[in-house]
Amino acid sequence: MTMKRSELVSYLDAYLEVASFTGIDRSLNSLVVGPADRQVGRVAFAVDACQSTFEEAIKAKADLLVVHHGLFWGEPLAVCGPHYTRLKTLIEGNLDLYAAHLPLDAHPEVGNNSVMARKLGLKDIQSFAPYKGCMLGCKGNLGEGRTAQWIAKQLGFVDPVILPFGNELITQVGIVSGGASSDVLAAMAEGLDCFITGEFEHQNYHDAAEGGITVIAGGHYMTETFGLQALMEHLKQKFGLQVIFVANPTGL
């Protein structure tokens, strides 16, 4: 099964509501590298737009690569050094690039945070953690008390950072993927038992300690694999495209 790239891009832009993040997201989202319109049949998905990921996607004969962390972040970037090599690899490898940063954090169906919430079995899921007028995360109720270790295992976190400053048994949980350390303040303000994110910064350690909230940091990379894998399955089911996830963990 193949389809026009323009049709797939239009669908992704609408489904992920990319336009609503214009002026909010530093990332240049949507199609960022690609020649004239063409047919695509195999789509790769990865967290980061980096050289090793490009090479793996090309090796897998992907036509399009969808990433969470793209190549362009609101500033002019000289086409030299690693940036030159990356663009050269994409163009010579006939691999198009699509980026979805905040749209893939906040989406209610395939967003990183909503997928984690469902994986935990949270009830009464609501939006959480405001950012420039939009809500990126979500919160909910576990129903019965669970330990931080149970939560980390349920999400598949490997060697997470756990700061056990709250109650041993957790019921009220807030989630914001990636580098959202400061959103622990929003979690505390809402009286949550636990805040889940990717990486937790030193500057917020004492906020959590003094606020009596448990923090679970599962890794920036790890917490941002959930949405891509959900989007991958969504496109496979909807359009019958061949899909592949390119794992390139950093351990961070």
The binding site comprises: 68-69, 105, 220, 224
Contact 16, 103 (CB under 8 A): yes
Beta bridge partners of 33: 97
Long-range contacts of 76-79 (CB under 8 A, 24+ apart): none
What does pTM read for this prediction? Answer: 0.96
Tokens for 144, please give them. Answer: 């019965």
Tens digits of per-residue pLDDT, 34-49? 999 999 999 999 999 9
Average pLDDT, the chain: 97
- Give 174's contacts (C-beta < 8 A, 6+ positions apart): 128, 129, 137, 138, 139, 183, 186, 187, 190, 192, 194, 195, 196
Residue range 208-217: average pLDDT? 98
Q: What pLDDT is recorded for position 218?
A: 98
Residue range 100-120: average pLDDT? 97
Q: What pLDDT is recorded for position 221?
A: 98
The binding site for a divalent metal cation comprises: 68-69, 105, 220, 224
Tens digits of per-residue pLDDT, 226-242? 999 999 999 999 999 99
Q: What pLDDT is recorded for position 246?
A: 98
Q: What pLDDT is recorded for position 148?
A: 98
- Which domains can be identified in the chain, with CATH numbers? 3-102 (3.40.1390.30), 107-223 (3.40.1390.30)
Q: What pLDDT is recorded for position 126?
A: 96
What radius of gyration, in Å, describes the C-alpha atoms of the chain?
A: 19
Q: What pLDDT is recorded for position 54?
A: 98
Quote the CA–CA distance of 93 and 136 in Å, as a whole number: 34
Residue range 194-203: average pLDDT? 98
Q: Which of 170, 165, 158, 166 is nearest to 217 (CA)?
A: 158
Q: What pLDDT is recorded for position 150?
A: 98
Q: What percent of the chain has pLDDT over 70?
A: 100
Q: What pLDDT is recorded for position 228?
A: 98
Number of C-beta neighbours around residue 244 at 10 A: 16
Tens digits of per-residue pLDDT, 47-69? 999 999 999 999 999 999 999 99
Q: What pLDDT is recorded for position 223?
A: 98
Residue range 134-150: average pLDDT? 96
